[in-house]
Amino acid sequence: MDSDATHRVLDPERDPAALKALTHPLRLRLLGLLRLHGPATASELAARTGESSASTSYHLRVLAKYAFVAEAEHRDGRERRWKAVHAVTSASNAAMLATPAGRAMLVLGRRRQVEHLQQSMEQHEADIDAGRLGEEWHEASGIDDLMPRLTPESLRELRDAIAAKLGELTARDESDPRARQVVLLTAGLPLAGEGPATPAADVASAPAAEAGPGPDAGAAADAGRAR
């Protein structure tokens, strides 16, 4: 898949330095925050991440060096604002696993996504308890923990179908005022053995289950997505 205005595709062989730049956890998080919340200054990102503005400023410059972020329109002349250049960054899993930097990026991205799911679950539960989400969301939300037996071709077809349907529904709901930020994390991880010792397989979504907008939704950064 070729890069376009919203989607950057990295090639580990052609872009090793850019790929290595994304293996830093804070850079990955900064990129995700800019993608979700829009342009921000180093100071604003420091407040959100708990880092110093000197640290966020340095890492933003590294991201800018490799064209992941760029200067945005300034509100005033005191501090530069940054924006994400692309909405999504991806790469071929096979290509990523073929290089040390690519593998490091793949592992980091996936682990950050799992952390994001935990944060999102906690925020969702807090939003339910505080009445910030109406009952109309209870039946629609949830987590499925399933372990089907599929061929590589079927797993790829399933992931492509989910991506296509998500694009269709996102476009349909773009101007609907009822739409909310939703954390949708999908995983297709084949296991060579019998699977986890105590799988939660066959546990289907329950009403008011744990999926919803996280505190820093997007901080898992689509930068961690690899295909």
pLDDT tens per residue across span 77-107: 677 999 999 988 888 888 888 888 788 878 8
Angle between helices 100-129 and 25-37 (to 10 degrees): 50
- Give, as one character, the DSSP assignment of residue 145: B
Q: What is the pLDDT of residue 225?
A: 44
> Is the confidence at residue 149, as pLDDT, over 90?
yes
Under 8 Å between Cβ of 95 and 102: yes
Write the secondary structure of 148-182 as one string of H (helix), E (strand) and C (coil).
CCCCHHHHHHHHHHHHHHHHHHHHHHCCCCCCCCC
Neighbours of 109 (CB within 10 A): 23
Which long-range contacts does 169-176 make (Cβ < 8 Å, 24+ apart)? none
Q: What is the pLDDT of residue 211?
A: 28
Residue 107: closest CA among 98, 122, 96: 96
Under 8 Å between Cβ of 226 and 157: no
Average pLDDT over residues 65-79: 84
State which amino acid sits at residue 128.
I
Q: How confident is the model at residue 226 (pLDDT cuts 50, 70, 90)?
A: very low
Q: How confident is the model at residue 194 (pLDDT cuts 50, 70, 90)?
A: low
Q: What is the pLDDT of residue 4?
A: 61
Under 8 Å between Cβ of 226 and 106: yes
Residues near 71 by beta carbon (within 8 Å), at least 6 away in sequence: 64, 80, 81, 82, 83
Task: Determine the Cα–Cα distance for residues 20 and 65; give it in Å rounded to an integer.
Answer: 12
Per-residue model confidence as pLDDT tens digits over 7-53: 898 888 888 888 888 888 899 889 989 998 899 999 999 999 999 99
Q: How confident is the model at residue 6 (pLDDT cuts 50, 70, 90)?
A: confident
What average pLDDT is seen over the chain? 82
Question: Residue length, the chain?
Answer: 227
Q: How confident is the model at residue 223 (pLDDT cuts 50, 70, 90)?
A: very low
| pTM passes above 0.85 | no
> Is the confidence at residue 156, as pLDDT, over 60?
yes
Residue 106: closest CA among 19, 1, 196, 35: 19
Neighbours of 169 (CB within 10 A): 12
